[in-house]
A = this chain, B = another copy of it.
Amino acid sequence: MSSNSRFTVAIHALAWMALVQPKRDGGVMTSDEIAGSVNTNPVVIRRILGQLREAGLVEARRGQGAGWLLTREPAAINLAAVYGAVEGDPLFDLHPAPPNQACPVGRGIQPVLRRRYSRAEAALRADLAGTSIADVLKETVA
């Protein structure tokens, strides 16, 4: 599976925000600062934080003194929410081309796989839900 690192970058950004934000007046952090910790380009960070914003996990201030803020306590952000925010597509694809409808397997397998895949994905999310950004941060700085 050609994977991607958005989940990692999102968790890293949130963990760093959780660490720094309380120590800072106003608490805003810029995409530039976050990019410095993740070691990537600020636009990459803005793209990913934009997805987290749509999911309600962070908030962006604009204008002078702008930046990003967590909207919840780090302990109230779990990895399933982060995963849902940055990962839109289903984990497994079905057939690239529709299977042969003249074959009993080709005709019947897609709904079976769809159900099965969504159960597997639910199991993955349930596991991810057991860890929060606060948990990740605590382990990371330990």
For chain A, what secondary structure do more than half of its interface residues adopt (helix, strand, loop), or is it mixed? helix
> What per-residue 1/0 map shows which CB atoms of A120-141 lie under 8 Å from chain B?
1001101110010000110111
Number of copies: 2
Is A5 a contact of B94 with CB atoms below 8 Å? Answer: yes
Name the B residues within 8 Å of A116 (CB-CB).
79, 131, 136
Stretch from A36-44, A46-54, A55-63, A67-75 contacting the other chain: A36-44
Is B38 a contact of A99 with CB atoms below 8 Å? Answer: yes
Asked whether any CB of chain B lies closer than 8 Å to the CB of A66, the reply is: no
Cα–Cα distance between A93 and B87 once the two chains are bound (Å): 13
The one of B7, B19, B38, B103 that contacts A16, using a Cβ cutoff of 8 Å: B103
Cα–Cα distance between A38 and B12 once the two chains are bound (Å): 41
Cα–Cα distance between A93 and B2 once the two chains are bound (Å): 9
Hey, which bits of chain A sit against chain B, CB under 8 A?
1-5, 7-9, 11-12, 15-16, 19, 36-40, 79, 87, 89-100, 103-106, 108-109, 112-113, 116, 119-120, 123-124, 126-128, 131, 136-137, 139-142
Is B105 a contact of A141 with CB atoms below 8 Å? Answer: yes
